[in-house]
Chain A
Amino acid sequence: MNFRRKLLTVFALTVFVSVGAVAWIIANVTRRAFERQDEQRTAALIAQFQHGYNQRAADIARRIDAIATSEAATRVALSLSHGPTEAGEYLREASPLAESHRLDYLEFLDAEGHILSSAQAPAKFGYIDSALHDLHALDGKAPFLKIEELPESTALGLFAVRSNNAADRPMYVVGGEHLDRSFLSSLELPQGMHTALYQVAAPGFSAQALTDPGPNWKPLDALAPLLAQAQSSGREASQLIHWSSDAAEDETLDAIPLKGEGDKTLAVLLVSNSRRPYVELKRRIESAALFVGGAGILVAILLSTWAAARVTRPVEQLAEAAREVAAGNLTAHVDVTSPDEIGELAQAFNRMTTELLEQKDRLVQTERVAAWRELARRLAHELKNPLFPLQLTVENLVRAREQNPQMFEEIFPESAQTLLTEISNLKAIIGRFGEFSKMPQPQWQRVDLNQLAQGVVRLFQAQFRAGEPTAINAQLELASDLPAIAADPELLHRALSNLVLNAMDAMPQGGALTVRTRPRAEGVAIEIADTGSGMTPEECERIFTPYYTSKQHGTGLGLAIVQSVVSDHHGKISVHSEAGRGATFLIELPMNLDKLSSAAAAPPRVEPRT
């Protein structure tokens, strides 16, 4: 990942995390605020329910009091005290009284709890109300919740018990009101709230026991765990219920157990708070966060692009300039566009290239002087050898002419021969220097390197045998699958000949000379190995330097010529040697077949060979 992408990623992450964190904090604060509001609204509603409950309880107690002290109740009580009577006499007593006192439930019970008359279930005469265990204890007490057993069902009601004691034995009046939808509808509900009443009739959840469920409460079975928790604990329970996949339909439900005699939970008041306002606000926050986050990321991209451009463009220029320097262009220059660290770096780079250029110039100058000195030294050395005999021979001839003319005549031919020989040597030395300075460009043609190697070895065959018994044993190890390459056969012949001559010079006592060829992945290779005196590592490093020689009578140009030929063929030459263990020269040449087409188009070389 480059610097620009890193910068962009860091910017985007920073914006994203920042916006996300802010949105999360806002959402949490909002949720807590809504939860507090829900709690307050639920508490207010429960208080309202309790107030209404108390008011209705007081009203029921008042009405039951009135019935218990009524003439009708007194008549029934007195009639009971007069001994056995037709029970049917009381059968219809309760119903009109319940109607006139607007009671849903009204029963007359004897002292043992047997129903004498029931408004809500006339057929229950003679039965004992199992929910009223101790009428005497309930007499006069505050109204209480009770499950009323009806012939085919049960119903939750708010009941009061009052006695009529006009006779010896009390007669009880038990009556009340149904706790139903109308009771709940008297509550003033804020928007988004709903109340329902669940009557605990039997173990397990029964949808029929639920009065006035909310319009979205589907399926009702979802209420079962909450109701079970409220019933089992006897305390208020709360649960978030998801009515559908739409979170706006979610509701927080509070279940408040309503208890009857014996602290038994008879019903559960359900108060629901819609989460729609919270969810919609949360969605708005999320949308805003997404919008801000998206815009932030966009800005981050633009900013990072701009910043990266400002930071990385000089760096990239520096990198490009460094690559140019590495490629040898010491004139590479970087524009200094800012006064910051990047600018300082650019200035330092420019100073570096300037100094490198100056150092190079100095080095070239130094090397050039050294080369000239070496050349002068070599020339002096090379020229001094033939010049000294020339000087002696000329001095001998002068002296002989002056002192002994006869002797002059005698020595003149021999001295003349010596002079010619040394002059010939001088010409040879000058010729070799001239030859090196005039290395021709390769004339490309298809060349069989095996054939070329065989020709070179064949050329020196006589010299290999000349030194017997110190003869040189030449061996050819040529690869049969060696491909033909494009090369100049004459230049290659000269290079190989130089290497063979060097090998012969390295083996004055005889030895083995091996010439090997082998194909390579991208060309061919040829090795010339000898078993001569070998070279030190330092000699190996300098051996291709022009005018360097390890021999007493060498010009130091042989291997330089070889390297020049190999280089002109885009190849590479190397040497592996250890002192006393011979040397191996390896020439690696590419195929250069593309040169054949250009060679065919190029005009032939007209430069004469010497």
Chain B
Amino acid sequence: LRVQSRIAPTSLDPTDPSQPDTVARRAISALVFDTLVTTDARGLLRPALAVAWQADPGNQRWKFVLRPDVKFHDGSPLAPEAVGASLREANPTWKIFPEADAIVIERDAPAPNLAAELARPRNAIVKRDSDALAGTGPFAIRSFTSGKHLTLAANEDSWAGRPYLDTIEVDFGKTGRDQLIALDSGRVDLADVSPDQTARATTGARHLLTSQPVELIGLVFTHDAQSPEDRALRSALALSIDRASVRHVILQSSGDTTAALLPEWISGYSFVFPDAQNLPLARQKRAELRQAPTLTIAYDPSDPFAQVVAERVILNAKDAGLTLQTTSSATPDLRLVRISLDTADPQLALGQIASQFNLAAPRFASSSSDAIYEAENAALQSQRVIPLFYLPATYLLGPNVRSVRLSLLGIPDLANTWLGAPPQ
């Protein structure tokens, strides 16, 4: 299978914090590394490297029984010590003990979602040698050229069974234009494309594969609101943004507009946060301000979609009488941020969003939807973030690619994908 990707990772280690946390990165990681627990298409936890797990009363001490006869790609067995070492690398504060054919994890506070936490890609089990990584996934790393190319080979001893594909060749750092040309010329079988490319990409013989909205795009303020005027200014800015036009024109109706942190398919209530533009009210709030300082906004300059969104936000804000200015400064007033959810668990997802938006950690009174709503609403009331869109993970498939399924979080299941003859 020949794959082209927009990302250009310099490391395949799923815990490496220097690598952008994107769906595409997780898709690569999922081919090589397994987690103890995984999530099925309905969002339910399923056994992976752990066949059973159990929590003591209070949910502070968890025991995970490891799948037997699993080997890393280098041939070494999946021992509890290796699992513990891998998890400690990703979670230095956890207390992890090997115990016969299991590992025991102790947390300082009750952790009812620990199993779901272990389903996150960052908690994949990795055996780290001096200069090589080994996993237990369906494919093993054959060669890796940082930021450019990756060759994966089928893991003959995969605990889930040998994948259909023998090898996967991944070219990194490709633009959407490169991907489309490569697909049209038959040089690529699969490409992860930007959502704003989808309309153009779906022409011809290409097949589009779209996930649930899993990527949140939002404006994040660097600092908390300092005064009532500051709050009014942020309200005016939020009200001035015409999300619908951006979705309609730039995203070509893919993805969702949102004023919520969690996507509708996870929370089920995101519609209660209005996301429509209200320019009169925005102007009114602006008029109530004695003066509105010029706000600086930063975005990833290598991301064309982010650039267009930022410019549109600037134009919308101008219509409301606000002045925004782009900046490359490290300390802008606003930052356009993209977050790819790595969990379907609402509490964990909200925690991930809060963490990556630098919001206060959400507090949940219970695991109920009301408690999640309260926590999300509190995060939004802080006015540190203006959610804009939820975008799906989007892949273009060549005509001979068969049986590609996406997980809830947009990860393609290439272990069960196979290549057939192109249609005549």
* Count of chain B residues near A, Cβ 8 A: 19
Interface centre among B252, B312, B314, B325 (most CB of A within 10 A): B312
B325 pairs with A88, CB closer than 8 A: no
A152 pairs with B308, CB closer than 8 A: no
B166: shortest Cβ distance to chain A, in Å? 38
Q: Which residue of A lies closest to B313 (CB)?
A: A123
Alpha-carbon gap, A413 to B248, bound state (A): 185
Alpha-carbon gap, A86 to B249, bound state (A): 7
Q: Which of A108-148 contact B (CB under 8 A)?
A: 121-127
| The one of A86, A88, A92, A123 that contacts B312, using a Cβ cutoff of 8 Å | A123
Alpha-carbon gap, A91 to B252, bound state (A): 10
| The one of A86, A87, A122, A126 that contacts B308, using a Cβ cutoff of 8 Å | A122
Could you say which residues of chain B place their CB within 8 Å of the CB of A126? 245, 249
17 intermolecular pairs with C-beta atoms under 8 Å apart: A86-B252, A89-B199, A89-B252, A91-B249, A121-B315, A122-B308, A123-B309, A123-B311, A123-B315, A124-B311, A124-B315, A125-B249, A151-B311, A151-B314, A151-B315, A152-B314, A152-B325
Alpha-carbon gap, A59 to B325, bound state (A): 34
Could you say which residues of chain B place their CB within 8 Å of the CB of A88? 199, 248-253
Alpha-carbon gap, A87 to B250, bound state (A): 9
Alpha-carbon gap, A121 to B248, bound state (A): 17
Which A residues form the contact surface with B (CB < 8 A)? 86-89, 91-92, 121-127, 151-152
Could you say which residues of chain A place their CB within 8 Å of the CB of B311? 121-124, 151-152
A608: shortest Cβ distance to chain B, in Å? 129
The secondary structure that dominates the B interface is helix
Q: Which residue of B lies closest to A89 (CB)?
A: B199
Alpha-carbon gap, A86 to B245, bound state (A): 11
A86 pairs with B314, CB closer than 8 A: no
Interface centre among B251, B253, B311 (most CB of A within 10 A): B311
B248 pairs with A87, CB closer than 8 A: yes
The secondary structure that dominates the A interface is loop
A89: shortest Cβ distance to chain B, in Å? 7
Other A-B contacts than A151-B311, A151-B314, 19 sampled, CB-CB below 8 A, are A86-B199, A86-B248, A86-B249, A87-B248, A88-B252, A88-B253, A89-B199, A92-B200, A121-B315, A123-B309, A123-B311, A123-B312, A124-B311, A125-B245, A125-B249, A125-B250, A151-B326, A152-B314, A152-B325
Q: Which residue of B lies closest to A116 (CB)?
A: B249
B315 pairs with A87, CB closer than 8 A: no
A232: shortest Cβ distance to chain B, in Å? 27
Q: Which residue of B lies closest to A125 (CB)?
A: B249
Could you say which residues of chain A place their CB within 8 Å of the CB of B326? 151-152
Could you say which residues of chain A place their CB within 8 Å of the CB of B250? 88, 91, 123, 125
Could you say which residues of chain A place their CB within 8 Å of the CB of B253? 86, 88
Could you say which residues of chain B place their CB within 8 Å of the CB of A121? 311, 315
Could you say which residues of chain A place their CB within 8 Å of the CB of B245? 125-126
Alpha-carbon gap, A154 to B80, bound state (A): 64
Could you say which residues of chain B place their CB within 8 Å of the CB of A91? 249-250
By Cβ-Cβ distance, the 8 closest A-B pairs, closest first, are: A123-B311, A123-B312, A88-B252, A151-B311, A88-B249, A87-B249, A151-B314, A125-B249
Q: Which residue of A lies closest to B304 (CB)?
A: A122
Alpha-carbon gap, A544 to B314, bound state (A): 127
Could you say which residues of chain B place their CB within 8 Å of the CB of A87? 248-249
Alpha-carbon gap, A263 to B309, bound state (A): 36
Interface centre among B250, B253, B315 (most CB of A within 10 A): B315
